[in-house]
Each structure stands twice: as C-alpha cells, then as structure tokens.
Amino acid sequence: ESFCSHLPKVELHAHLNGSLSQKVLYELYMSDPNITKSDDIIKLISSFHSGEERTLEDCFKAFDIAHAVTVTPNAVKKVTKDVICEFAADNVMYLEIRTTPRAVPGAMTKTQYIQAVIDTIQEIPTFIGPDKFIVVKLLLSVNRREGLTEAEENIKAAIAAHVAYPEVVVGVDLSGNPSCGNVTDEILPLFTNARVSGLKIALHCAEIPNEDEVEAILKFKADRLGHGTCIHPNYGGTDKLWSLFLQYRTPLEVCLTSNLKCQTVESYEKHHIQKLLPIQYPIVISTDDKAVFSTTLSEEFRVVAETFSLSKMELCNFTQKAIEVSFASSDEKKLLLDKLSDFKRQQG
C-alpha cells in the first residue's frame, strides 16, 4: 500500500466536479454568500461521497450536487485548488483535469468558468507547498446530454482557450451520460475542428453497449479513449469492435472503482482490464471521479496490483506508459520520466 502511495503517479482521467471532496463542497456551499441555501441541497451534499455502489444513472445525479455549488468563478477556483492539492498529496506528479465549461445565468459565463480553472493552474506555485510537485493541464469537455449547440460552444471555447494558453489547455473530452442521445452524426464530427486546431482528443467510449456508436468512436482514432467497457464480445461488445480496438491500440484510461460502483462491471476480478493486461494493451489507471467513487489514484493502483498480482516494476511501468500517452510536452515528459527513474533508483 505504501509503495502505491509513494510511487510518482500520473492521473489522466479526472473530472473536476467529480473529484472535489465532500468537505470542500460543504464549506463552499455554506460560505458562498452568492449561493441561496436550501435544506434539500444540504441533504444532497451529505449523500455525496457515500462511496456506495449505485447505478450509472445515480452516479450522474451525484454530479448535479457539485454543480449546484460550483456556480461562481470563486467557487470554481476553490474547487480546482482543492482537487490539485489532493492529487499532489497523493504523489500525483502530473494531472490532466477535465471539466465542462458551465454558464450560470447572472453569476458566471463559460469564459469566466474556464478562466477560473486556468488562473488556478497558473497559481499552483503560490499554494502547492515546498515539498510537493505537480504539473497540471486542462481538457475541456463536451457533455453529450447537453446537445449540439452546447457542444459547438464548448469546442469553440476550447479552441480559443488553447490559442490563448497553449501550455495549459491541451485537449478536449467527450463525456456525459452515455445513454443520452447518439453522438455519431453531429457531436463527434465537431471534434475534428478541435483536432485541426492542435488540441488532443480524449473520448469516453463503450461505457454501455452501443455497437454503431462505439464503432464510430473507435474509427475517429482519438488520442485516448476512456473506459472501453463494452468492446470485447464477453462484455456487451462484438468481435468486430474488439478487432478494431486491437488494430488501433488507442491508449485506454481505465477506471476500475468507477466501473464497479456504477455497476458496469461485476467485480474487480471480472473487470475488462483482465483482457488487456495479458496483451500489454496501453492502459492508464485512473480515478474518474475520486470523490463520487470514494477512491484515490494510490487506491486504484493498490486494487489493480492486488487483484491481478502485479509486481512493483509493473506498477512503475503504468506510470511510464501514462507519461508517454499524456498530453504533456516532450520536455515535460522527460522531466516526469526523470522523476520516475529517481524513484526507482531510491527503491533499489
């Protein structure tokens, strides 16, 4: 356990509003004079971070709680800072946060939302503490549930933010409840605009069975995919999808506890990672929503090591692979690889 906690780690799949601790959520809610208090929301906050297993639909309700609280630029800044500090405390040396730009009438525009996150990332040296090190990048998300107009807006905003802050805003993400709508015809093609503007592409893929959509997402050849649960024929996928997946070998962000708690896999032992480990498929161990699923990146490493009897070297290799497939610059990747080498040397 302490090895997993000390190992320098890389988190590539973390949604901002699923990662903030219940404590900060509560503090924020109570202290922000711009937020009108209600008993219903206080009750909802207490249920956040329960860590219980729930359906995928219930998980998506949990995000509404965080969204009810992160409604001003100051709240977004506080949440971003808290999430960065928590990952840094868990020895995450490189973090890609993803978040959906959100406008709140009368309180915040999407541009202000994005700026609040970027400002906080740029202020890291002022709050991180002398003994911690973390590099943070931002991916802006499209929530499929919100439809085409919002998707267009978010992609446009992501391109503008990338032009203004190329070192911070490095990619776009497709997420949101996978049972809402079909992204193949209208939303997915928008990501081409992001790609030609130099943004990297991370797409949620195959969280639930949907052969046509999964095929379109695989064929988009994103830089990385998330989850990939229902691709293999034993997991609600098909032979055709599995063979495309093996052909492209797009790096996959794997979120074990998230999948277990959303009940899209039965157990850690039966997680689809068991199909990927033996073929050395490029995977990245990730938390997804560490608060909603009551986990940490160290805990995810511990679970995968224990469930599949992995060696310390294999865990170090996860960090190495994650560095390689991250959206960091080549100088940053070199620095991160050096940090990993230092750690391995200390371990002997």
287 binds ligand 5GP (CB under 6 A): no
**Active site residue: 86, 146, 207, 213, which one?**
207
Bridging pattern class, strands 252-254 and 135-143: unpaired
Cα torsion through 177, 181, 184, 189, rounded to 10: -80
Which of 225, 155, 220, 154 is closest to 194 using CA atoms? 155
63 binds ligand 5GP (CB under 6 A): yes
Please work out, in degrees rounded to the nearest 5, the angle formed at the alpha carbon of residue 18 by the alpha carbons of 13 and 23.
130
* Of positions 15, 49, 200, 290, contacts ligand 5GP by CB under 6 A: 15
CA distances from 220 to 129, 185, 234, 274, 287 (A): 41, 12, 23, 25, 24
319 binds ligand 5GP (CB under 6 A): no
288 binds ligand 5GP (CB under 6 A): yes
- In degrees and rounded to multiples of 5, residue 182 shows phi and psi of -125, 130
d(CA 232, CA 229): 8
The residue range among 12-20, 46-54, 85-93, 124-132 that interacts with ligand 5GP, by the rule CB under 6 A, is 12-20
- Closest contact distance (angstroms) between CB of 130 and ligand 5GP is 29
Q: Decide if 207 is catalytic.
A: yes
Size of the site for ligand 5GP (CB under 6 A): 17
d(CA 266, CA 287): 18
- Pick the closer one to ligand 5GP by CB: 114 or 336: 114
* Of positions 7, 12, 14, 16, contacts ligand 5GP by CB under 6 A: 16
Site for ligand 5GP, rule CB under 6 A: 15-18, 63, 99-100, 141, 143, 175-176, 178, 204, 207, 258, 288-289
Supply the residues annotated as catalytic: 207
